[in-house]
Amino acid sequence: MATRPLMRQKVNIQTEQFTDWKNQLSIHLRNVINDSYMTLDDIGNKFIHKEREFEILGMSQAGTVMLKEIFEGETYYWECARKFVQMKLKRFNKRFAKTPGSPVLLEIPYEETDLLLPPRPRKRRVKKTEDDN
């Protein structure tokens, strides 16, 4: 079984896509039921992963977060899972734990599979027969 990537590089990015990514994030957050701890104020926020700095640009239609990285003067665009960005921004689900005295609020860590990108859907080719020609 192939492993799922943490991030996927995006190429051929047009300037119109930046506004689309911002709009997609606002549409996602407008839904009454969403499990996101992100806000519109997160656009432009930066975080560091493996000594590399990433800036949040928005969200794709697939629900992945779009990032920008400037490395050695070159700009690279990446997509990654929303829960990975939430983890880097230190935003976790919380639950109450019973302790002697009063209950304590504990952070629930994310599962490793939640931090990876979802698999890409594969298109299956239909075999052509002689009658299809």
Express each pLDDT in 72-109 by its tens digit: 999 999 999 999 999 999 999 888 888 888 888 999 99
DSSP of 3-66: PPPSEEEE-S--THHHHHHHHHHHHHHHSSS------GGGTT-EEEETTEEEEEEEE-TTSPEE
pTM passes above 0.85: no
Domain ranges of the chain: 7-113
The 10 Å Cβ neighbour count of residue 86 is 21
